[in-house]
Chain A
Amino acid sequence: MTLPTASDSVVDIPVSQPLTDSSDTRVSNLMEAIRLENVGVCYRAPSERIPSIKEYTIRWLQGKIKHREFWALQDVNLSVAKGETLGLIGHNGAGKSTLLKLIARVLRPTTGRVLVLGNVAPLLEYGAGFHPELTGRENIYLNGALLGYSRKQMDEKFERIVDFAELWDFIDAPLRTYSSGMWARLGFAVATDVQPDILIVDEVLSVGDEAFQRKSADRMQEFRDRGATILLVSHNMSLIEEMCQRAAWLDHGRLMAVGKPDEVIRAYRQSQA
């Protein structure tokens, strides 16, 4: 199985990449970090509001519960090479975040298969997982635990995290006294202290002041140079063009195009016009 490496930047519009031997359960190709095979995600919501459990039980017994099916993703085939930075574009509700959730193990696909090689670190958006009454120090430990780190690992990381976030002066103050920029700095610092194999960035780079934005962009660059795979969701097309080797365009849950960022962006823009 050969996959386009990052430097090849093979353009294939539309996607019709055949994925070989899906019976092989191991990810044998070292160059591949993420593979999606015929992936579909279907949300089922009751098509009408059922007011009570009694009512629900009656209808359930009668087999009368109607569900509206909504496919957030359909027939998505995508392969991301190790060390590649892939940008995801598309309008709101196109399925970008759903795709990231599949890779972060938050959702299991309704159909198809998701393979991920390496540990995944999602950059939580502003404030998620923090508690306002706890101090910065306490929140670092809590957030680290949320990312699956042990107490001992966090002891090791603590100083580096505070250094990077530049929050030594406030580390023992409760988080509710922090500005939103300080929250964001702390969150970014905890999530990116150790380089993950795969980093998921969902529209969060626009936080903090300009100096911190530059600092976090530098850190991403550094990860990229050291071989991390990065998935970037953004509406900022120049950022996608600047950071990514390839871009993928999603529309109504379908993968419309994968390829060189400028070409995919052009195709996306044409569809909008």
Chain B
Amino acid sequence: MESLPVYDSSRRGLPALEELRELLRYSNLVIQTARRNIVVRYKRSILGIAWTMLNPLGTTLILSFVFSRVFGGASSYAVYVLSGLLCWTFFAQTTSDSMHNLIWGGNLLKRIYVPRTVFAVSAILTGLINMAFSLVPLMVVMLITQVPIRPTMLILPIPALFLAMFALGVGLILSTIAIYFIDVTEMYTILLTAWFYLSPVIYRKEMLPQDYAWVVHLNPMYYLINLFRAPIFDGRIPALSEFVVAAAIALSTLVVGWVWFSSRADDFAYRI
């Protein structure tokens, strides 16, 4: 007797684990969706995928000009800014995309079964690919500003992984809220702007008045950005304690987001 898959709506395991199992089964969909996101974005432009690299390069040139010429900082400052900006762009883009993809995919969710986390996970994968491309202009800037490119950069996949876990957790939490309150997508845009200036992306923590330093320490992005920046800008391997803090933030956010999202996932088809 051939064994057929059986679906029984009354039999439920742990939603979080079920979701994970289904996501692994649909891994090809995650890859294809990420591929689509990247291909479609540049399909009609002449320079195509090169924009992934030109975008951060342009932003950095402007920022480093503003900071080194107008505010009179060191030229190595560009690398400081760009490395932080890579993290920030990744975080801001993937978390917003997770939300929008789920809402965009709503039409599809009504017609065909796919694991609901596919949308957020493929947004993260897309962001990781874009971030990898952005390392090219980063190294160009490093060469120009004579910041040494050190082998410590080989450790970057680890900070990137933590960043991705954190972003996925936040993205899932946002998506869950967005299903019930679509307004969150607009509010989040404003929140992101505030969050950006509360994170040491374009300034150094030391530049803040002493009274405000504690705000930065409450900001999870501070630890994640630092972990990512140290191997690039300082050319050092972060201390174990830095890894542990970042890992704890990333893992706890991911678990909370994943469990909450999957426990609500059945409700989505009713709401969208």
Chain A residues within CB distance 8 Å of chain B: 25-27, 30, 43-44, 52-53, 56, 101-102, 104-109, 113-120, 122, 124-125, 128-129, 131, 133-134, 138, 141-142, 144-151, 154, 174, 197
Are B31 and A197 within 8 A (Cβ)? no
Are A25 and B39 within 8 A (Cβ)? no
Chain B residues within CB distance 8 Å of chain A: 1, 4-11, 25-26, 28-29, 31-33, 36, 39-40, 43-44, 107-114, 181, 183-184, 266, 269-270
A152 to B130, CA, bound (A): 25
Residue of B4, B36, B112 contacting most chain A CB atoms (<10 Å)? B112
A106 to B267, CA, bound (A): 10
| Given the contacts A101-B269, A128-B107, A133-B44, A151 and B28 also touching, CB distance less than 8 Å | yes
Q: Indicate which residue in A43, A106, A113, A134 contacts B109 across the interface (CB closer than 8 Å).
A: A106
A125 to B184, CA, bound (A): 30
Q: Indicate which residue in A43, A52, A109, A138 contacts B39 across the interface (CB closer than 8 Å).
A: A138
Inter-chain contacts of A101 with B (CB < 8 A): 110-111, 269
A120 to B269, CA, bound (A): 18
Residue of A124, A133, A144 contacting most chain B CB atoms (<10 Å)? A133
Q: Indicate which residue in B5, B33, B40, B183 contacts A53 across the interface (CB closer than 8 Å).
A: B183
Are B36 and A131 within 8 A (Cβ)? yes
Q: Indicate which residue in A25, A105, A128 contacts B108 across the interface (CB closer than 8 Å).
A: A128
Are B11 and A119 within 8 A (Cβ)? no
Find the B residue at minimum CB distance from A119.
B5
Leading 6 A-B pairs by shortest Cβ distance: A105-B113, A145-B32, A114-B9, A145-B29, A116-B7, A113-B10
Find the A residue at minimum CB distance from B187.
A53
Inter-chain contacts of A138 with B (CB < 8 A): 36, 39
Are A197 and B4 within 8 A (Cβ)? yes
Are A53 and B4 within 8 A (Cβ)? no
Are B10 and A142 within 8 A (Cβ)? no
| Given the contacts A108-B266, A133-B44, A146-B114, A115 and B9 also touching, CB distance less than 8 Å | yes
Are A27 and B6 within 8 A (Cβ)? yes
Q: B2 CB to closest chain A CB, in angstroms?
A: 10
A125 to B111, CA, bound (A): 9
Inter-chain contacts of A115 with B (CB < 8 A): 6-9
Are A145 and B33 within 8 A (Cβ)? yes
Q: Indicate which residue in B6, B25, B36 contacts A117 across the interface (CB closer than 8 Å).
A: B6
Inter-chain contacts of A117 with B (CB < 8 A): 4-7
Find the B residue at minimum CB distance from A124.
B111
Are B8 and A25 within 8 A (Cβ)? yes
Inter-chain contacts of A128 with B (CB < 8 A): 107-108, 111-112
